[in-house]
Structure 1
């Protein structure tokens, strides 16, 4: 990842975003593109769209696979803060990114996948083959300037910060919690409580991004 100014450039055009990702893919070797932003910003949606647009040479790696198991969170007394930085195996995530760089062109790397319907991760469910030229990885804490997250940015070629309208982001987040089984009042409380506390921390990392992504204006 390159050093960025205090005010990263802003991009709204999906076509331009795909072109920028394609340029990363077409570099020699393997590139890693990070997508970050607060909960509900649309990171997984953009990541999936980019990978679909770029085809077999690209793969998606969500950071969510590195959630600590619910039993571990309960033992640590952190279950009511699930989603906070210390409820992930951040060091394991950084180690996987490093391995993806080292294994380019030589071996398949397996990664965990988080299942929201169970609120748990399954090990080695994602397979990233040796021919993948661009790994798009998305998560909340890619730019957090503290251990172990500070190990992540040097492993990424670029990091884009997703910055949607706040009202839209919160409505998406509440709807997502409801879709995975929370009652509406619980969904609202979690989105405006635990999630919002995390969002404030994540927003402070915005100046370190290479690019800020905002939704295209509706016309």
Structure 2
């Protein structure tokens, strides 16, 4: 389904309004393959809603650190499903979904691309009725991912034609320090293997959208 930012903001506003009316917090998941525009859409939704209505919590804050990945021998597969703390992410989403107005803040980690590492307590979740979480594996069926999904009101899957998605991925990797040849190899190698796994979860989404 092709939807504009305004149309998606309207859908997100409905979820937020329902949560506010129930005196609870709703979690909206945004998923899709690497380079599809998940973090950009999540930010656009939060910016498009009323002030204080939404906050973004990224799954990427649960990347294992480079030190841990090197110890596991998986640094060259960073971004694969087994290079995340899925149980930690599920526990965070459970805490967020259980919040009530006036509850103490919940602090979430965030991922800093400039250093390619997660940092603790980078985002505070307070009394926002809508928490938007984005990441690759929200619909995965292994590990603790289903526990996280069970606490989300909806999960939207973002599609983008592969040629454009790959172009964006290469540009992003290059912008953050990879030589162009390495950026292209990573996008067509490790990233593509992850994209194939994520594509297999597409039909479990509440909404499949081509964002325009």
Give the TM bin, normalised by the shorter chain.
over 0.9
Inter-partner Cα distance in structure 2 for 1:38 and 1:86: 16
Deviations 1:144-172 (CA, angstroms, capped at 9, x unpaired): 01112121211100000000111110000
Bigger CA drift: 172-181 or 13-22?
Answer: 13-22
Q: TM-score, normalised by structure 1?
A: 0.92
Shift of 1:215: 3.1
Pairs within 5 Å for 1:28-107: 28=22, 29-54=24-49, 55-105=51-101, 106-107=103-104
CA RMSD of aligned residues (A): 0.9
Inter-partner Cα distance in structure 2 for 1:115 and 1:23: 31
Structure 2: runs of 5+ lacking an equivalent? none
Match of 1:108 in 2: 105
Inter-partner Cα distance in structure 1 for 2:31 and 2:78: 18
Deviations 1:62-105 (CA, angstroms, capped at 9, x unpaired): 10000001000000111010000110001100000000122232
Match of 1:23 among 11, 14, 19: 14
Match of 2:152 in 1: 156
Shift of 1:12: 1.9
Match of 1:5 in 2: none
Q: TM-score, normalised by structure 2?
A: 0.95
Match of 2:185 in 1: 189
Maintained 8 Å contact 1:63/1:138:
yes
